[in-house]
Chains A and B, each alone.
Chain A
Amino acid sequence: MKIAIASGKGGTGKTFLSTNLSAFLSETEPVVLIDLDVEEPNTGLFIKGDLIKTENVFKPVPEWDRTNCTLCGKCQSVCNFHAVLKVKDAIMVFPELCHSCYACSELCPEGSLPMKNEKIGIINHYKYKELDHVEGKLDIGQEQAVPLIALTNDFPASHLQKVIKICDCPPGTACPAVESVKDADLVILTAEPTPFGLHDLKLMVKSLIILKKKFAVVINKWGVGNDDTLRYCENMNIPVIAKINNDRRIAEEYSTGNLVYDKFDFVRSELEKIKKYITDSGALI
């Protein structure tokens, strides 16, 4: 069972919920927390486990071999991303733009664009008590998060036998967010009860409807803003499974890198509600 914690707007509490929920669930269930926000993974600030393993991640990109190249230009005409260009008497490759589709390489009549691996980032695997923690980290200068998100997402399948995957997703509704939620069994949206929060929540809801995903909302920082977000969810028949109060004590703990569910009952009780919702949806036995 994969549960994706997503939001639309940044700063609504995805990482807060992902870290606390996975630590809480791991007390009784086999859980792996996966940080798919590979451009800025920060679950590690709160889940400080022991490093078990680091893997380098590569993406295949073409490399020009001029030996037999006739400069026919077929490579550039088949590339949808302008990652391969014929410039005068040379073929230039832009690895950051390449989507590794192999078209130029496969369709080159002379075999002049063999694919080679370029390192794009790393995947770290940590262990914190009973909780497995996996994070993808994109290298500086890399522009495409999606290939690393896909590999980070698949990492537990090949390395761990865990029943519940909790994924901390990137913000926004663009490719990285879509890649992160697309195979989720349940998407939990952390929403903020503010006009800005509601605006971006609506965008994410639209995306999830198109993706035909099952989703529910957790309202975080409950007490700020207004109740428009709550009313929107009611009108749209979106289950609001928990409301976490806006409380200065949470911010104080969070700002020093601490988990909070084990310190405040009013947080723990909301996580219990989320657990019940997940259980009722059939994930936990």
Chain B
Amino acid sequence: MKIAFTTKGEGWDAVIDPRFGRTEYLVILDEESGILEAIDNSGVSEHAHGAGPMTAQLIIEKNVQILITGNGPGGNAERVISAAGIKTFTGAGEMTVKQAYEAYKENKLKT
């Protein structure tokens, strides 16, 4: 499984960004290889509209199957994410990537 986290930084200790479309970074975990990849999403701030679909498309391109975030995506992003068959888990707001991943494994996040 490939899991995307919306974050404010890079690596396991990065804090989850509660926003989806305007998240500062995306951290993508490839569970098979254990490789953690960080993508700088700050370019989205230049766009007044359409941040949600734009970020959604980014995680689709990365073949992500699971999304872990804070507040959950907005309406437009939600349409894109569900069309791509990505499952969303929310409520990871204050956690680090590591804590959020553990919470996900223990079924403690909201769907």
Task: Mark A residues whose CB is within 8 Å of B.
Answer: 76, 81-83, 85, 87-88, 90, 92, 94, 96-97, 143
Contact = CB atoms under 8 A, between A and B. Distances in A.
A88 B82 CA distance: 11
Contacts of A87: 56-57, 60, 80, 83-84
Contact of A82 (B49, B60, B79, B84): B49
A83 B60 CA distance: 16
Contact of B80 (A81, A85, A96, A143): A85
A76 B57 CA distance: 11
Interface size class of B (residues with CB under 8 A): 10 to 19
Contacts of B76: 94, 96-97
Contacts of A92: 53, 79-80, 83
Contacts of B60: 87-88
Interface string B57-95: 100100000000000000010011001110000000000
Contact of A94 (B47, B53, B84): B53
Contacts of A96: 76
A97 B83 contact: no
Contacts of B53: 82, 85, 92, 94, 97
Nearest to A86: B57
5 contacts: A81-B49, A82-B49, A85-B56, A88-B85, A92-B83
A82 B47 contact: yes
